């Protein structure tokens, strides 16, 4: 496994300088674990109507899981929930592509820094690291909006 090829500059930058780290007031809190790697995250979301007012988190684990949480914070805070779900679904699609999807301009527009994880999709064990915070966000959002976390929106 070429670890170096995955640890791109964008990912390292988010890892070293995480956006929005720390737990703040929230409408729901979830704790998710990725047992394959040992990553853990406690994540809170706060909504202002349909708008994501804040996503705060405490996480520990590998650089991919931590960088991903930082990217999530940067991308989702301030977005309406419908737009945030579109971003989450696009990211999921990329991460499940097993390295076969090369992000085009449209995908880059939606995902911004999250396209840096494209290379990670080739490594099944690492995909869970990248998706940990996104699944936590989805779960927390479902709780706030009173939906079943098991219900797929896709």
Q: Which is nearer to Zn ion, 94 or 110 (CB)?
A: 94
Give 86's contacts (C-beta < 8 A, 6+ positions apart): 110
- How are beta strands 28-34 and 39-48 bridged, if at all? antiparallel
| Shortest Å distance, C-beta 78 to Zn ion | 27
Q: In what order do the strands lie in the sheet with 39-48?
A: 28-34, 39-48, 51-60
Q: Which is nearer to Zn ion, 38 or 99 (CB)?
A: 38
Q: Within 13 A of 82's CA, how many CA atoms are on the CB side? A: 2
| Shortest Å distance, C-beta 125 to Zn ion | 8
Rg (CA), the chain: 14
| Shortest Å distance, C-beta 79 to Zn ion | 25
| Shortest Å distance, C-beta 48 to Zn ion | 31
Q: Which is nearer to Zn ion, 77 or 127 (CB)?
A: 127
Residues that bind Zn ion (CB under 5 A): 37, 39, 61-62, 65, 129
Q: Which is nearer to Zn ion, 13 or 83 (CB)?
A: 13
């Amino acid at each position: 496994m070429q670890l170096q090829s995955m640890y791109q500059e964008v990912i390292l930058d988010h890892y070293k300088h995480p956006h929005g780290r720390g737990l703040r007031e929230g409408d729901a809190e979830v704790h998710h674990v990725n047992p394959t790697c040992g990553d853990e995250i406690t994540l809170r979301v706060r909504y202002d109507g349909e708008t994501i007012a804040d996503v705060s988190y405490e996480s520990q684990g590998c650089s991919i899981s931590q960088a991903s949480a930082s990217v999530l914070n940067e991308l989702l805070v301030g977005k309406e929930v419908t737009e945030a779900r579109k971003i989450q679904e696009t990211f999921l699609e990329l991460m499940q592509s097993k390295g076969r999807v090369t992000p085009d301009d449209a995908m880059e527009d939606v995902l911004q820094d999250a396209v840096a994880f494209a290379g990670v999709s080739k490594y099944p064990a690492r995909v869970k690291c990248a998706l940990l915070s996104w699944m936590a966000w989805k779960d927390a959002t479902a709780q706030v909006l009173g939906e079943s976390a098991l219900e797929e929106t896709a």
